[in-house]
Every structure is written in structure tokens, then in C-alpha cells.
Amino acid sequence: MLYRSLGRTGEKVSILGFGCMRLPIIDGRPDQIDMPLATDMVHYAIEHGVNYFDTAFSYHGSAYDKPGQSEVFLGEVLRGAYRDKALIATKLPPWVIKSREDMDQVLAGQMERLQTDRIDCYLIHALNAENWPKLVELGVRDFLDAAKADGRIRYAGFSYHDLPAVFAPIVDGYDWDFCQIQYNYMDVDFQAGADGLAHAAGRGLGVVVMEPLRGGRLAGRIPTDVETLWETAQTKRTPVEWALRFVWDDPGVSLLLSGMSAMQQVVDNIEIASRGEAGSLTAEDLALIGRVRDAYRERTAVGCTGCGYCMPCPENIDIPAVFESINSAALYDSLDEEKFLYEMMVDGGRSARASACVQCGQCEDACPQKVPVIEEMAKASRLLDE
């Protein structure tokens, strides 16, 4: 296993981290983790050098505002000698925080479920332009300072899901130790993107990458034209290795998280990680990845760039997110998965349904790409709401 520093903390982290959001489950129920199999997977990972395990308040639960089973599982599996071999990362859920006191209460519950007196890496979950100012007003900076000072947490960070322009002000808004961003060869301009990664790393933050396979889309059903491109490579690699190596190639990345749900995935990813040195891809490799990116983007259904000029929608539709759903379905042949994620977004209150569009036209007037939003939203509704 290769290791890098978690930014200026100097903490040595395995370049492969274990994401505990997609653990193996029983009978298709997210809150029923297959404990024997998942335990074997985590122990195998530790025994082969993985030392970073990422969970969150609601992972493997039945509702976003209730604790899930992922923290409980991790607390059990890391008991005894395994605890000192692992860095635990979990997250404060802004959507359940109404006061400064709530922050302490949520953290206390997480420490109890994780059976630990310290959380190594504590993140504020899914910061964005809306919840960050509210948390600041409630005293989140004081909370993080106090939790670090009394030893409940060692390092403070945040995960991020918003437009590129919002990222740098959040990075600069607190003395963070690290951040967690979505990044892969398709998302170099999405959310924090490559520029955000460089900004955070330049400020000395450790950078943890999530979704290196874009939720498995870059590893599953590979379109024929993309597969043909990969076959032209001088050095033969699987689509998974190409995707992981792209992320590791950036020296600003501390580690990437893989949400592994099968033992073979753990074995394969650990083997690939042995070749994950920064700067190890050639110019020809990177050019090929660029051609693959272009091939995927040619499958785009809606010409939305995600700039957000159409927002806010008076009907509370997250227009860029809805279009991202149908574009992903077209790019990766993943309609069923996009429907599932869309339902999670709607149920979580982030967006109204596409069918809520009243055709007011405000978005079309604001769109610099001149996307026929009303027409495309109706198509999206037929795909996602029916």
C-alpha cells in the first residue's frame, strides 16, 4: 500500500480509503448490512494496509434524518486491536442541526455508535451555499474548535456538493484540516473540480476524493465506443484502473474513497493501489483519458453546463441537478440508478420534482446556453417521475 500526507496535518493515509456507504446488504435492504462479509472485507483491507474508513450519520439507514447502521457496523468491526490501525472519518449532518447544542449531541451519539472516545477525521457533511452560512450563524466554528481542543475530534473537514464558485469561499472560511470532494476524469469541471482541488491543496488542506468511479458508472456498463478507445491504449488497464489512476495521478490528492460492496472489489482495488503514484501517467495516457471523456460527453442529452444562472427556481426545482440526472442516464446507460438518486434528492428536500414545473420561463430567460428548459424539463419528468 502507498501512503500520502493528509495535507499539512502530516498524518499518513493510505491512498485507498474504504467508503462505508455501499457495504454488502441482505435482501436489498440498506439498513441490513451483511455483517460477516462486510467484516471480512474491512479486516482484509486493514491487513493489506488500508487505514482510512469513511462513514456518516445516515449511511445504511432508512431515513436521512435518522442514524444509519454504517457507524454501528464500523464501531463493531474496529473493536480491539483494529482500532489503532484505522482512522475513522464520519460526518455531522447539517439537515438535523437546529442549534449549537445539537452539534454536541449528534457528535456524542456518533462516538457512542462508533465505540470510540475520538473521531480522527470529522467532516461537516455536504456543505453548500445554503447551509454553510446557517451553520456559521449557529456556531459551527466554535463547535469544531472546542471538539478539537478537548480531543473529541482530531482533524476538522467538510464534504462538498455545490457549484464551483461556492467552493473557495468555504475553504477560506475556516481553518480546515482537509476536505472531501467529488472528482474523477468526467468531473474535472463539476462541483469543486480540478480548480477547487488545486485551491484546497494549495492552502495545505488534505484532499479526500469521493466518487472516483462516479458511483460505479465508469466501471459498469461501458459503452462500445468508449471500450474501443480503451483498447487502443499501449498499456492495457481495466476501466476501473484507468479511473483510479487518473485521480491518484494528481499530487494534490491525499486519498480516494471506494465504496466497496464485494470482497473482490477490495482485493482488486488494493492491487491497483500499488501502482497509484502521483505523476505516473504518461502524456499519451492523459490524452486517451481526454478522448474517453469527449466520447462520453457526446452522449449528453441536455446542453446544461451546471452554471446555475437559472436558479433559484420559484417552484424549488434544482434545474441543474435534474438535468445532471438525465445526462448521467444517457452517458452511462444508468436510468434505474439515476431514478434512485433523483428520488433521494426529492425525498431529502433538495429539489421539487421535475413535474412541478409551471412553465413560467424565468429559467429560459436566464440561461446563457439557451437551453429550452421547459421542453427538457418535461422530458425529464417523463423519464424520472413516471
Using a 10 angstrom Cβ sphere, with 0-12 exposed, 13-18 middle and 19 or more buried, the burial of residue 20 is buried
Burial 332-349 (b: 16+ CB within 10 A, else e): bebbebbbebbeebbeee
The HSE-up count of residue 124 (CA atoms within 13 Å, CB side) is 27
Q: Return the minimum-mean-pLDDT range out of 41-50, 238-247, 319-328.
A: 319-328
The string of pLDDT tens digits covering residues 320-345 is: 999 999 988 888 888 998 999 999 89
Whether 75 has a pLDDT exceeding 90, the answer reads yes
Q: What is the mean pLDDT of residues 259-263?
A: 96
- Parallel, antiparallel, or unpaired: how do β-strands 25-26 and 29-33 relate? antiparallel
Output DSSP code: residue 50: -
My answer on whether omega of the bond before 312 falls inside 30° of 0, hence cis, is yes
CA 149 – CA 194 distance, rounded (Å): 33
Q: Is the pLDDT of residue 191 over 80?
A: yes
pLDDT at 306 over 80: no
Q: What is the pTM of this model?
A: 0.87
pLDDT tier for residue 161 given thresholds of 50, 70 and 90: confident
Q: What percent of the chain has pLDDT over 90?
A: 84
In percent, how much of the chain has pLDDT > 70? Answer: 100
Please give the pLDDT value at position 350: 86
The average pLDDT across 240-268 equals 98
Is 372's pLDDT higher than 90?
yes
pLDDT the model gives residue 308: 81
pLDDT score for 281: 98
pLDDT of residue 126: 92
C-beta separation of 212 from 256 below 8 A = yes
Say if residue 186's pLDDT is above 80: yes
Q: What is the mean pLDDT of residues 223-233?
A: 94
Residue 379's pLDDT band, with cuts at 50, 70 and 90, is very high
Sketch out the chain's domains with CATH numbers: 3-290 (3.20.20.100), 319-384 (no CATH)
Residue 305: the pLDDT is 74
Instruction: Indicate if the pLDDT at residue 368 is higher than 80.
Output: no
- Chain-centre distance for alpha carbon 243: 15
- To the nearest 10°, report the CA torsion of 189, 191, 196, 201: -120
Residue 173: which pLDDT band, with cuts at 50, 70 and 90? very high
pLDDT at 309 over 90: no
What pLDDT was estimated at residue 364? 93
The pLDDT assigned to 267 comes to: 99
Q: Rg (Cα) of the chain, in Å, rounded?
A: 21
Instruction: Give me the mean pLDDT over the 58-79 stretch.
Output: 94
d(CA 240, CA 258): 11
Find where cell 435518522 sits: 66
pLDDT band per the 50, 70, 90 thresholds, residue 64:
confident
**What is the pLDDT, as a whole number, of residue 40?**
98
360 band by pLDDT with thresholds 50, 70 and 90: very high
Q: Is 263 exposed, middle or buried (0-12, 13-18, 19+ CB in 10 A)?
A: middle
Q: Tell me which H or E stretch contains 210.
A: strand 206-210
Lowest mean pLDDT among 54-68, 211-225, 351-365: 211-225
| Distance, CA of 192 to CA of 188 (rounded, Å) | 8
Query: Would you say residue 384 has pLDDT above 90?
Result: yes
Q: Is the pLDDT of residue 386 over 90?
A: no
Q: At 348, is the pLDDT very low, low, confident or very high (cuts 50, 70, 90)?
A: confident
Separation of CA 115 from chain center? 25
- State how far the Cα of 386 lies from the Cα of 138, in Å rounded to an integer: 40
Q: What pLDDT is recorded for position 190?
A: 85
